[in-house]
Structure 1
Amino acid sequence: MIAIFSDTHSNRGHELEGEALAAARNADVVLHAGDFTSEAALEAFRGECDRLYAVHGNADDPAVCDRLPTARVVEAAGIRIAVTHRRDGGETGLAMFGRSRGANVVIFGHSHRPTVIDADDVTLLNPGSHADPRGNRPGFAVLEQAENDGHESAESTGGGSLEGAIREPDGTLIETLEIRRR
């Protein structure tokens, strides 16, 4: 399972609770699309999950920016996942960012709005903010290998699809999605 977060905006800690906290603790991989804000929040996330792949955002302290890249790519179930906080050019800029990295999906943050956008050959996924939704529904996302893939591990190099959902921290469903290798 892959748990996906963004826009924590905390000076105290991870601000995770309920199903969001359970997802971070139980995930094989945790992705974070930036704006922890503080090293305390970054370290709190690291303390809750085994494998954290994160990028920094525009509101992160310089100490966080020094420790994290602005972008990264990870793979799961044969799906390439590009992670960034934001890109100039909105949806088009995000899609171009993903295509330039051969990604099937781009994980991004910044707007605090849980969003799934099909941009033809790349899916754009914003999990929202679990802790600081700013007028939007609070959110985080979970992706799992599709059951029909027949592969044993989400970290396998084969496969070709992930399915998942964006949820509120209490587990309330916001939206489902499926990502296929194209």
Structure 2
Amino acid sequence: MIAIFSDTHSNRGHELEGEALAAARDADVVIHAGDFTSTVALEAFQNECERLFAVHGNADSAAVRDRLPTARVVEEDGVRFAVTHRRDGGTTGLAMFGRSRDADVVVSGHSHRPTVVETGECLLLNPGSHADPRGNRPGFAVIEFEGDDSGTLEGQLLEPNGRRIDGFEIQRE
């Protein structure tokens, strides 16, 4: 399983609870699209996750920015994820970012709004913010990799308590 987070915005820790905390602990890979805000939050995530792949966001401290890239590519079980916090140009800009990295999925943050958009070229996934939703539903995403030989992977946007926001599919190459 892959668990995907963004926009923690904390000086206290990871701010994970309920199903979000369980997903971070149980995931084979955790992707975070930036705005931990503090090294305390970043290190708390690192302590909970077996493998964390993260980027920094616009609200991250200099110490966090020094430790994380602005963008990265993560490949897991036949799926290529391009990860960034924010890209100018909206949906088009994110799709171009994904295309330039031959991505199946673009993971981004910044808006604090859990959303999934299928562009035809790649899936655009913003998990929202599990800790600081700013008027949106709190959110994170999970993608299940086991038991599917069809090449289709099932993903969900969830609230930290496990309530489903939306579902999506990813075609494995």
Q: In structure 2, give the amino acid aligned to 1:90.
A: G
Whole-Å separation in 2 of the counterparts to 1:134 and 1:16? 16
The answer to whether the 8 A contact 1:56-1:70 is kept is: yes
Determine the structure 2 residue equivalent to 1:90. Answer: 90
TM-superposed CA distance for 1:124, in Å, is 0.1
The answer to whether the 8 A contact 1:34-1:85 is kept is: yes
User: What secondary structure sits across from 2:66 in the alignment?
Assistant: helix
Whole-Å separation in 1 of the counterparts to 2:142 and 2:116? 13
Determine the structure 1 residue equivalent to 2:24. Answer: 24
TM-superposed CA distance for 1:161, in Å, is 3.5
TM-score calculated relative to the size of structure 2: 0.97
Tell me if 1:177 matches 2:168: yes
Whole-Å separation in 1 of the counterparts to 2:57 and 2:47? 20
The answer to whether the 8 A contact 1:143-1:162 is kept is: yes
Determine the structure 1 residue equivalent to 2:110. Answer: 110
Q: Which runs of 5+ in 2 are unaligned?
A: none
Determine the structure 2 residue equivalent to 1:60. Answer: 60
Determine the structure 2 residue equivalent to 1:167. Answer: 158
Whole-Å separation in 1 of the counterparts to 2:12 and 2:146? 36
Pairwise CA RMSD: 1.2
Alignment length, in residue pairs?
173
TM-superposed CA distance for 1:162, in Å, is 2.2
TM-superposed CA distance for 1:148, in Å, is 2.8
The answer to whether the 8 A contact 1:79-1:161 is kept is: no
Determine the structure 2 residue equivalent to 1:39. Answer: 39
Q: In structure 1, give the amino acid aligned to 2:63.
A: A
Whole-Å separation in 1 of the counterparts to 2:98 and 2:152? 17
TM-score calculated relative to the size of structure 1: 0.92
Whole-Å separation in 2 of the counterparts to 1:163 and 1:76? 14
User: What secondary structure sits across from 1:149 in the alignment?
Assistant: coil
Q: Determine what percentage of the aligned residue pairs are the same residue.
A: 74
TM-superposed CA distance for 1:146, in Å, is 5.9
Tell me if 1:48 matches 2:39: no
Determine the structure 2 residue equivalent to 1:133. Answer: 133
Whole-Å separation in 1 of the counterparts to 2:58 and 2:149? 37
